[in-house]
Structure 1
Amino acid sequence: MPSSPDSAVPDDDAVAAGFLGFAEVALDRTEARLPNIDRDAMAMVLLLHRVASTIVYDLESRVHRPAGWSWSAFRLLFALWVAGALDPSRAAELTGMSRAAVSSLAKTLGAARLVERTPDPHDRRSVTLSLSAEGVRRLEATFETHNRREAEWAALLTTEELAVLNRVLTRLVTAAQDEDWISRRS
């Protein structure tokens, strides 16, 4: 018997569904309680979030924690590896983190000798972040493991499904860049 929305008793169907399966229960229950919702839009956001969270957790627990860093640290290391030396504001923009988070993380990764912080020649109040030689070595070694795990995830789809998914996600992110109503870090 379904519980009311205000019930303190857990709903067995919702609990049994688990993290990923909960999405279908959430869609059904929300539509039943709020019949005017856009179910497809809700499904897109809910499923994207749940799949992304699951993949991030998997990569962090299977690849990055064993390498000695967090998912956030990987994002910063990867951005520096791809883009080269960056000021903390640009690193924050490219990683989707706050500038304060990047600064804190850069100090931690600096203490681990993975990131170098050098004074910015144009602004003595700021620094430039770059990977150390050890940071490059460790990031590249870890990224090979990371990419093998990505390939395992991608193998859950057919070649055609993967191509369609990549096109759709690219379309969504490209369209979102042109919309001024979307909040984003900058």
Structure 2
Amino acid sequence: MVQPDRGAGPAADGFLAFTEVALDRTAERLPGTDRSAMTMVLLLHRVASSVVYDLESTVHRPAGWSWSAFRLLFALWVGGPQEASGAARVAGMSRAAVSALAKTLHAAGLVDRAPDDRDRRGVVLSLTPTGAERLEAAFRAHNQREAEWAALLTPDELDVLNTVLGKLAKAAQVQDWVNHRF
């Protein structure tokens, strides 16, 4: 097996540079590959990963939680008290992940857990007053960081990007060929 040269070439430039190498090598090895579609998915994934990592490392870890914890806390803040499976759907997480995370956040005093009146096996999650305060403080920093990312684009570019991403998000929910985790 050939070991990659970690000291030279486009791949050495980092995370985003891999996209160009991947596109070129795939075209060489699998002619007929839809390069535009592959570019869209690779860039979308890599940029989303970069933004998430940036937010987690600059905002959420300093706040004392993970990106997943933020997503769950934010879902409860926006939607109010909800059954754990509903919170999992909104937060884009598995029910098992929400269950484990809710226990951790409960122990930290950020989330309350109560039996579901409609289904005694279920659990209703809600933010504690401390959880709401801490989420709101962290979200201010989160949104400032979002604004810094958005400022890299012109207002027109940002509108176009939001329109295109909204179109993809809607299609992901209505296309019958799309597999859904939630």
Whether TM exceeds 0.5 here: the answer is yes
Letter in 1 for 2:180: R
Query: SS of 2:45's equivalent?
Result: helix
Match of 1:79 in 2: 75
Match of 1:177 in 2: 173
Match of 2:27 in 1: 31
Matches within 5 A, 1:131-150: 131-150=127-146
Match of 1:164 in 2: 160
Q: Judge conservation of contact 1:17–1:25 (CA < 8 Å) in 2.
A: no
Deviation string 1:13-48 (CA, Å, 9 cap, x unpaired) is 243231011111111111122111000010010000
Matches within 5 A, 1:6-21: 7-10=2-5, 12-21=8-17
Query: SS of 1:100's equivalent?
Result: helix
Give the TM-score, by structure 1 length.
Answer: 0.94
Give the TM-score, by structure 2 length.
Answer: 0.96
Partners in 2 of 1:158 and 1:93 — Cα distance?
Answer: 33
Partners in 2 of 1:26 and 1:87 — Cα distance?
Answer: 42
Structure 1 unaligned segments of length 5 or more: list them: 1-5
The one of 56, 61, 72 aligned to 1:65: 61
Q: Judge conservation of contact 2:15–2:46 (CA < 8 Å) in 1.
A: yes
Match of 1:99 in 2: 95
Is the aligned partner of 1:54 residue 2:50? Answer: yes
Letter in 1 for 2:140: E
Structure 2 unaligned segments of length 5 or more: list them: none
Partners in 2 of 1:151 and 1:106 — Cα distance?
Answer: 29
Match of 1:45 in 2: 41
What count of residue pairs does the alignment treat as equivalent?
Answer: 181
Letter in 2 for 1:68: G
Match of 1:3 in 2: none
Identity of aligned residues (%): 65
Superposed CA RMSD = 1.1
Partners in 1 of 2:122 and 2:14 — Cα distance?
Answer: 46
